[in-house]
Chains A and B, each alone.
Chain A
């Protein structure tokens, strides 16, 4: 089967700023592919180029077998889009929103009703189909948007931060739909997220930072590449501790999220030595197996949250504020 998405040296600049600096990747048909990175890393810009919403400044991209620049409408007919920001008509009912979408995408008339029932049942909104969308909660709206993105049976479904601002339960059910989709439809899913735990569910993930892909593999393989365990310690004097770790053990430590953090191959055996030889009082210690946070850190030198705080700018701060208001700050 040909690749669902094929990207070669894709670039996008906004004036002086290079948002995407030449990315290359392929997404296989029926894959769940995740784009992971802090806000401002260029994920949304990349997805916008793939969805024909932004023109690339350079390079090429093919989606569902069509060129995103020269065959824009063909691309659009074969993709479903779920944006970060809501795009529903609150005055219409759920059903009317889907019908409108089906008409705009030219879904064959006799398929509209059965398809609508199918997608609405999938997201658990069939009972609420007659209700005006403005009466829906944030989670219900997002589910409805996913149902709508599927109305015309796209080959590729793009989900830009599909779970942002949602409560954990709704996030779980959205992941449930995504898995269900994989089983029931010939569909490729391309999503962006900055939740590390969610990236685990993807078949493969690409880590993006400062407009470049810094790593691309299955979550398992990425974690194995890191290999080492991660140790976090809180000390009386972090500066001295970092110095001492370098001098005594030859390890590079960083301050991340308020604690001294470093990686070491056999963490459990290392901890007793640490207490014996560091020479700086330690208040607490924690040891963890590598997770995607460590993968991210090993490729970018910071955790995703630190990266957002340092260079996300106003946009990221607004989004974080919005998340906090949504009560999903973890």
Chain B
């Protein structure tokens, strides 16, 4: 083989050995998986644009269109302002789901195997993936946040920080849900189908587009068991706290969630999202550990 003879010999190497496993190596694994999500997101401009379309449709088309019908019952509040918190939620939902879907792609293109055989805990990979999905989705959320002025919401620092944190939490939980599903669903088409099946109903039922009082019994029930409800409600409370609303409007549009007549505190709502996210993360880690 002439190739061998003509190639210059490689310089002698200092032997590199992989250091013993420690929490530091796990952290490095989490960080690099997280960074990969960011790199991929930054290279995929198409995705940034496409996942903005749906929230913008809801906000400006649905919001402006239905305004004429609902003016009487919103107590002077623009419908766009009312659904803005819901749209802040859905904006991160879609992006988070897409991030989770990349696990299915990774499996199809073999890259998942590279991560699964690495000498780190599978949990580190899953956590990195969820954090990456959450970060990417929240960055997307920031674009929506920038539109606050167009729907009459002020750019108050407390509002911006609060919304960002809530989006981060919601995106993390949604990604965890997606990753959990992706552990089982190995076909991209099935995964996308599942997402449609879960995400759209969750969004519609959550109260992102309507106040959650005086709903018919069946819808009230579905609304209370919809996890997204517990993200939309604090988001709305946060946005409304920065608006100058009448008592009536506040009561009609942001009644808060009740469990059998007991008004659920905002902190508990937020905690519910967090707890569900953690539970799904745990299941996702368990599932990936169980796989060979």
Contact (Cβ within 8 A) A78 B1: no
Residue of A77, A132, A153 near B119 (CB, 8 A) is A77
Q: What chain B residues lie within 8 Å of A53 (beta carbons)? A: 117, 292
Contact (Cβ within 8 A) B18 A55: no
Contact (Cβ within 8 A) A87 B118: no
0/1 string, A165-199, CB within 8 A of B gives 1: 00000001101100111011110000000000000
Q: What chain B residues lie within 8 Å of A101 (beta carbons)? A: 114, 118
0/1 string, B95-136, CB within 8 A of A gives 1: 000000000001001110111011110000000000000000
Q: What chain A residues lie within 8 Å of B120 (beta carbons)? A: 104, 106
Q: Is residue B75 contacting chain A, with contact meaning CB distance below 8 A?
A: no
Contact (Cβ within 8 A) B4 A90: no
Residue of B1, B19, B110 near A86 (CB, 8 A) is B110
Contact (Cβ within 8 A) A86 B109: yes
Residue of B13, B31, B106, B117 near A153 (CB, 8 A) is B13
**Interface-lining segment among A107-115, A213-221, A260-268:** A107-115
Q: What chain B residues lie within 8 Å of A91 (beta carbons)? A: 39-40, 43-44
Q: Is residue B267 contacting chain A, with contact meaning CB distance below 8 A?
A: no
Q: Measured between C-beta atoms, what is the minimum distance from A298 to chain B in Å? A: 27
Q: What chain B residues lie within 8 Å of A51 (beta carbons)? A: 117
Alpha-carbon distance between A153 and B12 when the two chains are bound, in angstroms: 13
Residue of A73, A87, A111, A175 near B110 (CB, 8 A) is A87
Residue of B15, B36, B44, B119 near A89 (CB, 8 A) is B36
Q: What chain B residues lie within 8 Å of A21 (beta carbons)? A: none
Assess A76 versus B118: contact at CB under 8 Å? Given A83-B110, A153-B15, A184-B10.
yes
Residue of A81, A115, A173, A181 near B16 (CB, 8 A) is A115
Contact (Cβ within 8 A) B110 A180: no
Q: Is residue A129 contacting chain B, with contact meaning CB distance below 8 A?
A: no
Q: Is residue B263 contacting chain A, with contact meaning CB distance below 8 A?
A: no
Contact (Cβ within 8 A) B114 A87: yes
Q: Is residue B216 contacting chain A, with contact meaning CB distance below 8 A?
A: no
Alpha-carbon distance between A172 and B3 when the two chains are bound, in angstroms: 7
Q: How many residues belonging to B are interface residues under a CB distance threshold of 8 Å?
A: 39
Q: What chain A residues lie within 8 Å of B21 (beta carbons)? A: 73, 77, 106
Contact (Cβ within 8 A) A180 B7: yes
Q: Measured between C-beta atoms, what is the minimum distance from B18 to chain A in Å? A: 4
Q: Is residue A92 contacting chain B, with contact meaning CB distance below 8 A?
A: yes
In chain A between 16 and 52, which residues have their CB closer than 8 angstroms to a CB of chain B?
A: 51-52
Alpha-carbon distance between A153 and B14 when the two chains are bound, in angstroms: 10
Interface of B is mostly: loop
0/1 string, A87-101, CB within 8 A of B gives 1: 111111000100111
Q: What chain A residues lie within 8 Å of B117 (beta carbons)? A: 51-53, 76, 81
Q: Is residue A143 contacting chain B, with contact meaning CB distance below 8 A?
A: no
Contact (Cβ within 8 A) B4 A104: no
Of B12, B14, B117, most buried by chain A (CB within 10 Å of CB) is B117
Contact (Cβ within 8 A) B32 A176: no
Contact (Cβ within 8 A) A176 B13: no
Alpha-carbon distance between A185 and B21 when the two chains are bound, in angstroms: 23
Residue of B39, B109, B113 near A83 (CB, 8 A) is B113
Q: What chain A residues lie within 8 Å of B242 (beta carbons)? A: none
Residue of B12, B29, B44 near A104 (CB, 8 A) is B29
Assess A106 versus B4: contact at CB under 8 Å? Given A55-B292, A83-B110.
no
In chain A between 118 and 170, which residues have their CB closer than 8 angstroms to a CB of chain B?
A: 118, 121-122, 132, 152-153
Contact (Cβ within 8 A) B113 A76: no
Alpha-carbon distance between A55 and B291 when the two chains are bound, in angstroms: 12
Q: What chain B residues lie within 8 Å of A277 (beta carbons)? A: none
Q: Is residue A251 contacting chain B, with contact meaning CB distance below 8 A?
A: no
Q: Is residue B237 contacting chain A, with contact meaning CB distance below 8 A?
A: no
Contact (Cβ within 8 A) A107 B111: no
Q: Is residue A237 contacting chain B, with contact meaning CB distance below 8 A?
A: no
Q: What chain B residues lie within 8 Å of A153 (beta carbons)? A: 13, 15-18
Q: In this complex, what residue of B is CB-closest to A103?
A: B32
Q: Measured between C-beta atoms, what is the minimum distance from B40 to chain A in Å? A: 5
Q: What chain A residues lie within 8 Å of B13 (beta carbons)? A: 118, 153, 184-185
Alpha-carbon distance between A104 and B19 when the two chains are bound, in angstroms: 12
Alpha-carbon distance between A86 and B117 when the two chains are bound, in angstroms: 14
A173-B3, A180-B4 known; 15 other A-B pairs, CB under 8 Å? A52-B117, A77-B18, A91-B40, A92-B39, A96-B39, A108-B19, A115-B16, A122-B10, A153-B16, A172-B1, A176-B4, A180-B7, A180-B10, A185-B13, A186-B15
18 contacts between A and B (CB under 8 A): A78-B17, A88-B110, A89-B109, A91-B43, A92-B36, A103-B28, A103-B29, A104-B32, A104-B118, A104-B120, A105-B18, A106-B24, A118-B11, A118-B13, A153-B16, A173-B3, A176-B3, A184-B11
Chain A residues within 8 Å of B, Cβ to Cβ:
51-55, 73-74, 76-78, 81, 83, 85-92, 96, 99-101, 103-108, 111, 115, 118, 121-122, 132, 152-153, 172-173, 175-176, 179-181, 183-186
Closest 3 CB pairs of A and B: A153-B16, A103-B32, A104-B118
